Amino acid sequence: MKNLFKNLIIVLIAFLIISALFSVFSKSPTEPKKITITELAQQINEERVSKIAVEGQKVTITLTDNSQEETRKEDEAALSETLKNYGVEPQKIQKVQIETTEISGLKFWLINLLPFLLPILVIGFFLWFMFRQAQRGANQAFGFTRSLARMLKPEDNKGQRTTFKDVAGLEEAKEELKEVVEFLRTPDKFKSVGAKIPKGVLLIGPPGTGKTLLARAVSGEANVSFFHISGSEFVELFVGVGASRVRDTFAQAKKSAPAILFIDELDAIGRHRGAGLGGGHDEREQTLNQILVEMDGFEPGTQVIVISATNRPDILDPALLRPGRFDRRIILDLPDISDREKILKIHAIGKPIQKQVDFRQIAERTPGFSGADLANLMNEAAILAARKNKKEVSMNELIPSIEKVLLGPERKSHILSQDEKKIAAWHEAGHALVNASLPHTDSVRKVSIIARGRAAGYTLKLPTEDKHLRTKTEFAEELAVLMGGFTAEKLVFGEATTGAGNDLQQATDLAKKLVTRYGMSEKLGPRTFGEQEEMIFLGKEIVTEKDYSEKIAALIDQEIDKLIADAQKTAQNVLASKRSLLDKIANRLIEKETIEKEEFEKIIKEG
Ligand code: ADP
Ligand code: MG
Ligand code: ZN
């Protein structure tokens, strides 16, 4: 629209200039009087004409009184002939001085051709303009396939570059990557003993564990060119664009070898080929194929190493994981307690921290947090301190920040009615009491009926230590705790509310996992059910393909039902037998809205 407007204005201006030129050429400053040939004939007969100048069709007449007139004659006939035909006497014509000049070349052309030429010129100009525009568009379309990779040269960002020092823990990963860096720096050392340089390194780990951070650290340490691109940047609306971008990216990297090419979020392209519906998938498939081709196509000795990161190794195409491609795989786990402490300390750098702050204690309270969560925690604490106008961050800001990161911000404005408050109180008390009454559960840190994130209330439990393996007993008790809210509502008010919906969903998902993933159902035995095959259709992931019969499907449903029914029974038994304790917790919640760990444990002990 804007372009069109601009074009119109340009054409208009061109028009004005041309017509201005035209008028300059065609008009003389003083306009002589226009007369007809008949009048001219009459004037000659009256002997008032002294001179006639003929130029093409134009006849300029100078009268005896020196005034000028103008007329036109036909091209073909001579003026004297014409005048004779108009009845002028020949002697009178001889008296008049007649001067015939050839019309000047330029003037002739202008006068005769401009009327034809002008529209052609205008149209031509238009066409040229549009063509130019189109060409620019085409150039853009070609540039489209160019790589979007950003390059960091070793000499760039010297000032504040990320190094391995900025990455806490992840020692094995750092070792492996240091080796890769060494390959690039001193390839001869490895070649002389016949070792092949690895082509690809795949970083695998849950979100926020520092994959991108590690890659950035490699770029800071390696002193070689570093290209950075995200998998999603290969994926475009048009089929084939991704593939040519891959080609271009690899070409660039090879040109500046030794180089590291970092492809972040590889799962955006590297999905299983052949699974799925719709056109978008073909595009991804071509892009993936191109990556495979490029990685195979490295001539031996090319010093380009591809580093890639994903949090979904399960959906990566097996061909990517074959030796000769991403032959090194580095697993990044969620940090353990000492790593959490180190990460906290790294992110405390640059923030004024009170001396009494014990990062170990924060680390103890944050099992399951990723590096990104911890970085977020430190930031939230700093924000909180600033809001309180404090000069230093203390434990008073750090501890509340844990919950904020875990559950989202408190919504104090979300005010419950008196009835709703009661329901929420008994609901949360139900969770908390069942949890406290079962032996294998995590301890309760906090019970609250203040809305947080999307929950109307919450019971915060945190494990006392990092856990990697879990038993069926633990799961069964977790299910009972999940059912605690629903059961309490039913027990106290006779019916449950929508507030329990999320609990039920979680319980069902967990029960399903026990049966189909962990082989924890006696009836169905130690096997998994349901080959997971993901498809993308209209942006949604559909998991399909059952590898079991309808009969088994019914059995699975039965087993899930049974697990949940058992859990509800357990919760029911606990709550019914400790009804007075339940009421006590609920009433305290209505009164104070939040009960901390110590107070909760005291109530339980008294009861
Ligand atoms: P991802 O694995 O999802 O790529 P990132 O590397 O983007 O995660 O990590 C997000 C942020 O979390 C980092 O920018 C960093 O601040 C923090 N972080 C994660 N892991 C660590 C770690 N091991 N040491 C220090 N900071 C970390
Ligand atoms: Mg990342
Ligand atoms: Zn609940």
3-state secondary structure 367-382: CCCCHHHHHHHHHHHH
Ligand nearest to the CA of 162: 1
pLDDT value for 3: 67
Distance from the CA of 308 to the center of ligand 2, in angstroms? 10
Ligand 1 binding residues, C-beta < 6 A? 167-170, 205, 207-213, 309, 343, 346, 371-372, 375
pLDDT averaged per 10 residues in sequence order, the chain, 607 residues: 70 78 64 81 82 81 83 76 79 79 73 82 90 70 62 62 85 87 82 81 89 86 82 70 80 83 82 53 73 75 83 78 80 88 92 89 86 93 92 90 82 76 93 93 88 77 77 94 95 91 92 90 86 51 68 91 96 95 94 90 88
pLDDT of residue 538: 47
Domain boundary residue, one of 331, 362, 393: 331
Please tell me the distance between residue 311's alpha carbon and the centre of ligand 1 in angstroms: 13
One domain, residues 243 and 360: no
Q: What is the rounded distance in angstroms from the CA atom of residue 531 to the CA atom of residue 203? A: 25
* Residue owning the nearest CA to atom 12 of ligand 1: 372
Q: In the sheet where 68-72 sits, what is the strand order?
A: 33-34, 68-72, 58-63, 49-55, 97-101
Atom of ligand 1 nearest to the CA of 213: 6
Q: Which 3 state secondary structure label does DSSP give 126?
A: helix
C-alpha of residue 467 to centroid of ligand 1, in Å:
21
CA distances to 251, 253, 291, 360 from 297, in Å: 11, 13, 10, 49
Hunting for tokens 């890639």 — which residue is that? 308
Residue-range definition of the domain harbouring residue 424: 418-606
How many Å lie between the centroid of ligand 1 and the Cα of residue 430?
A: 37
Q: Where a domain ends, among 374, 407, 440?
A: 407
Q: Which of 160, 204, 212, 213 to mutate to test the pocket of ligand 1 (most atoms within 8 A of CB)?
A: 213
Q: Which residues pair with residue 181 across a beta bridge? A: none
Residue 547: the pLDDT is 75
Query: How far apart (Å, rounded) are the C-alpha atoms in residues 266 and 316?
Result: 8
User: Is 412 strand, coil or helix?
Assistant: coil
Same domain, 321 and 341: no
Span 137-195, pLDDT tens digits: 665 555 656 666 676 665 665 556 788 888 988 888 898 888 888 888 888 888 888 87
Whose tokens are 């008028």? That residue is: 23
Closest CA to 588 of 448, 445, 400, 407: 448
d(CA 408, CA 427): 20
Is 273 inside any structural domain?
yes
**Residue 376 confidence (pLDDT):** 93
Mutate to test the pocket of ligand 1, among 174, 209, 330, 380 (most ligand atoms within 8 A of CB): 209
Using CA atoms, how far apart are residues 462 and 399, in angstroms rounded to an integer?
13
Distance, CA of 548 to CA of 563 (rounded, Å): 20
Residue ID of nearest Cα to ligand 1 atom 18: 371
The number of folded domains in the chain is 3
Atom of ligand 1 nearest to the CA of 339: 23
The answer to whether residue 74 sits within a structural domain is no
Rg (C-alpha) for the chain, rounded Å, is: 44
What is the distance between the alpha carbons of residues 84 and 65, in angstroms, rounded to a whole number? 24
Say if CB 445 and CB 460 are below 8 A apart.
Answer: yes
User: Domain with 373 in it: what CATH number?
Assistant: 1.10.8.60
If asked whether residues 361 and 272 sit together in one domain, one would say no
- Choose the final residue of a domain: 331, 351, 378: 331
Q: Are residues 433 and 341 in the same domain?
A: no
pLDDT digits (tens, 9 = 90+) for 73-122: 776 677 777 777 887 787 777 777 788 777 667 777 777 777 888 889 89
